[in-house]
Amino acid sequence: MKGTKLVAVAAAAVLAVAGCSSTQHKGSASGGSTVSDNGPHKKGGTVTIANEQGQTWTCQFNPFNPAVYAESIGFVYEPLIFVDELNNQAETPMLATGYQWNADKTSIVFTIRGGVKWSDGQPFTADDVAFTFNLMKQTPATDLYALWSAAGLESVTASGNTVTMDFKQSAQPYFYFFADQVAIVPKHIFSAGDAAAHPDTWADSNPVGTGPFLVNPCSANNIQYTANPDYWQAGKPYVQKIEYPAYLDNGPANLDLASGKAQWGSQYIPGIQQFYLAKSADNHTWSPPVLNVSIFPNLDPSHKATSTLAVRQAIATAIDRTQIAAIGEGGEEPPANQSGVVLPTFQKYYDASAVSSAGYDKPDQQKAATLLASAGYSPSHPLNLTVITITGYTDWDASLAVIKQELAPIGINLNVSDLAQQTFDTKLFTGDFDLAYYGEPTGGPTPYYELREMLDSANSAPLGQTANGNYERYSNSAVDTLFNQYATADDAGQVSIMKQVEAAMVRDVPLIPVTESVDWFQYNTSDLGGWPSAQNQYAQPAAFNFPDVEQVLLHLYSRSAQ
């Protein structure tokens, strides 16, 4: 499904998503209103979300279920601390008012917010927090971030208004996951009945959370959320209702956005300037790049061609990323670079000299042909390769058409195989491919998170077995060591470590970043203010990003209600 954030980190499996778009509509972010975006505001108004899912709603809201938690986390359930991935890891206290690490980052103590109630009126306490994390140990399927395994979590205990988490190793890199990504659930609900018996698969059709909205009601065709009257942030949320229709394809959703029927879009709009932006001065877009869409070559020795460095170097040298982004993605997402560092989001980590000195700063067909010839292939003796992709991802198809055209002159015949998502996932996870065109579904507040997911050998598996990441089967003990050292490094040290990882990306070409995947975001300001923007990057802006969606909803207000 495009436009859906699916989590996969550490030892958790992943599903594929795509994204595009990075153009920004110039104009008044306030739509000409004199109302300040700074609150407080009077309550009122409705926001309608257009985010195509390709299916109707199941009306399940279990925050431990990856298939539905994008509709529950941020709307109904909340984390301890919100970490802004776009704003240098800026933190907003949520269910925790603060925290304290010990010296070696193996223990953290959270101070839990008082005066918070669950939406059924029961008090929220530190016991709920400890219960949530201990449930993950009891039922490993709920431990979506491998906190009890990969992160080395050893115990979680509550005492008064504090919760202590102890780890067997430095856990600093996992803070983003356990503080920001884990939604806290009510002990009195999840410790009884079906919820206790099957916490990973329980439907949770009438969720009880601490968040700003209630599910009221849900049907297959629409989720309606209404404001939680007892929400702990006084006077919030300002917007009192959310309509979240189920769209089976992008067409109707895009029409609703263009007409203003929906105000919050989170998907690709072809020809966005004419189709959407030109329709109204109140229509805007800002879609920041956060991840990569890459060519994953199979590095297992059984795949002779793609495990040959010169072949991978030839592909990385031949493709014109700027051309691919312009044609394949309609100019709505930026070209990527061989370092794998997303720009400008993570500019301070980027080693431009490493990319340019290796010749990956611009395409070079002649050099690419020479590299491929060194591996025994040429236009007269071509290399036939198949790249798998996901059917229905028309922008990816268009990008691959450009790539196919650019590789043909150097002697690579590329066959594009469009597969149903489930089939694609199986082939990707088990290593049944020559090349795969794929975008990691989640990253984090620094390049470490995506690059570790893609390169750490601990995430991989032998061919035929399911890998949790590193689908290309890259193995480099020096790179593994760098990832392990990241946890205890200071800020400067972490930047240095990532630049050394970039050097491996440039030297070994374990995968080939092509374009930068973005947070789809279109927004209408005719009545609603408070939207995030390039000038006010307080959260990732797409409706499928959690828990960021909550930050957006807490900022939104209706001008007509003022």
Q: How far apart are CA 210 and CA 184, in angstroms?
A: 9
DSSP string over 144-169: TT-TTTTS-EEEEEEETTEEEEEESS
Q: How far apart are CA 179 and CA 170, in angstroms?
A: 15
Complete edge-to-edge strand list for the sheet that includes strand 213-218: 213-218, 222-227, 241-245, 46-50, 264-265, 522-524, 283-285
In this prediction the pTM is: 0.83
DSSP collapsed to 3 states, 432-453: CCCEEEEECCCCCCCHHHHHHH
Predicted pLDDT of residue 24: 31
Weakly modelled stretches of the chain, pLDDT under 70: 1-34
Q: How far apart are CA 207 and CA 209, in angstroms?
A: 6
3-class DSSP assignment, residue 82 = strand
Predicted pLDDT of residue 34: 57
The answer to whether 527 and 316 have CB atoms below 8 angstroms apart is: no
List CB contacts of 264: < 8 A, sequence separation 6 or more.
47, 48, 49, 50, 51, 522, 523, 524, 543
Residue 275 in tokens: 């189709």
Q: Alpha helix (H) ranges present in 105-264?
A: 126-138, 175, 187-190, 193-197, 250-259
- In this structure, the number of other CB atoms found within 10 A of the CB of residue 280 comes to 16
Q: Which of 433, 389, 424 is nearest to 300 (CA)?
A: 433
**pLDDT tens-digit readout, 46-71:** 999 998 877 889 999 999 988 888 99
Rounded alpha-carbon distances, angstroms, from residue 262 to 26, 72, 175: 20, 20, 35
Predicted pLDDT of residue 350: 96
Predicted pLDDT of residue 5: 36
List CB contacts of 314: < 8 A, sequence separation 6 or more.
368, 369, 371, 372, 375, 410, 412
Q: Which run of H or E residues covers position 366?
A: helix 365-374
**pLDDT tens-digit readout, 455-514:** 999 889 999 998 888 999 999 999 999 998 998 898 999 999 999 999 999 999 999 999
